[in-house]
């Protein structure tokens, strides 16, 4: 099915481990985004990408790394996970048009012990 | 820098009544877009409505309307005739079009509870 999918949906890891959250979209949308959702903070932008090989920092980029070698994929890596990175992570994409809404994945719940 | 403020952490509304969810924003962009999203308890993000900064008329989508006051930098969501299914978190979001390079940022959200 077309759409935007995230994997894994649930992940438990330990402090210091590397974790990669995957995001794949089938619409060929130019823009892709990673957000984290925490109670009281809403969704905070981690990184975003305007096209393949073009990425930029959002509001809370520290501790995260992204890449975008192909238009359809936008993985988010926590190089050394910390407890403060326990959160729900949402990937989103949108077209390159002014009114383009964001389409969201189902979210990935990450717990760092 | 862009910022979205939603000052109402929680709201209650009687079924069939109208409710206004507040959103104020700050941006240095001359051109920008404003969105509202709904997140029910199941967790998915549902797009509700969009307003461009140069749109002359307030956006409407069914029972949703956006009360856009550019000079006040506010973009309040009005839900008419509330239904039990409207109980959810509501997020205001903004996209900067030039200097912010299409970043989309969200506010902290408002939790709406519709009372039968």
CA distance, residue A22 to nearest chain B CA (Å): 17
Tokens of residue A75, six digits: 């993985």
Residues A49-96: pLDDT tens digits? 999 999 999 999 999 999 999 999 999 999 999 999 999 999 999 987
**CA separation (Å) from A5 to A26, A76, B83?**
9, 13, 30
Q: Which tokens hold the place of A82?
A: 């910390």
* Rounded Cα–Cα distance for residues B75 and A10 (Å): 35
Give residue B31's pLDDT. Answer: 86
pLDDT single digits (tens) B9-49 = 999 999 999 999 999 999 888 889 999 999 999 999 999 99
Q: Do B93 and A102 touch (CB under 8 A)?
A: yes
Average pLDDT over residues B53-61: 92
pLDDT of residue A100: 76
CA dist., res. A21 & res. A31, Å (int): 17
Q: Considering only residues 22 to 61 of chain A, which have any Cβ-Cβ distance to chain B shorter than 8 Å? A: 31, 33, 35, 40-45, 48, 50, 56, 58-59
**C-beta neighbour count of A44 within 10 angstroms:** 17
CB atoms within 10 A of CB B61: 12
A5-24 average pLDDT score: 97
Q: Is A102 on the interface with B (CB under 8 A)?
A: yes
């Amino acid at each position: 099915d077309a759409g935007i999918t995230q994997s894994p949906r649930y992940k438990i890891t330990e402090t210091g481990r590397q974790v990669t959250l995957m995001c794949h979209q089938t619409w060929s949308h130019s823009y892709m985004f990673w957000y984290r959702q925490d109670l009281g903070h809403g969704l905070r932008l981690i990184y975003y990408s305007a096209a393949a090989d073009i990425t930029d920092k959002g509001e809370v980029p520290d501790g995260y790394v992204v890449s975008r070698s192909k238009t359809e994929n936008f993985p988010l890596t926590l190089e050394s996970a910390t407890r403060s990175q326990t959160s729900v992570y949402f990937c989103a994409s949108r077209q390159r048009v002014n009114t383009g809404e964001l389409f969201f994945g189902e979210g990935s719940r990450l717990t760092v012990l | 820098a862009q910022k979205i403020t939603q000052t109402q952490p929680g709201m209650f509304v009687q079924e069939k009544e109208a409710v206004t969810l507040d959103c104020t924003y700050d941006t240095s962009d001359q051109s920008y877009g404003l969105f509202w999203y709904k997140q029910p308890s199941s967790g998915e993000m549902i797009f509700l409505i969009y307003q461009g900064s140069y749109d002359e008329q307030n956006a409407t989508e069914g029972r949703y309307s956006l009360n856009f006051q550019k000079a006040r930098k506010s973009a309040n969501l009005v839900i008419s005739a509330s239904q039990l299914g409207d109980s959810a978190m509501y997020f205001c979001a903004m996209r900067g079009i030039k200097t912010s390079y299409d970043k989309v940022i969200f506010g902290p959200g408002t939790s709406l509870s519709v009372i039968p």
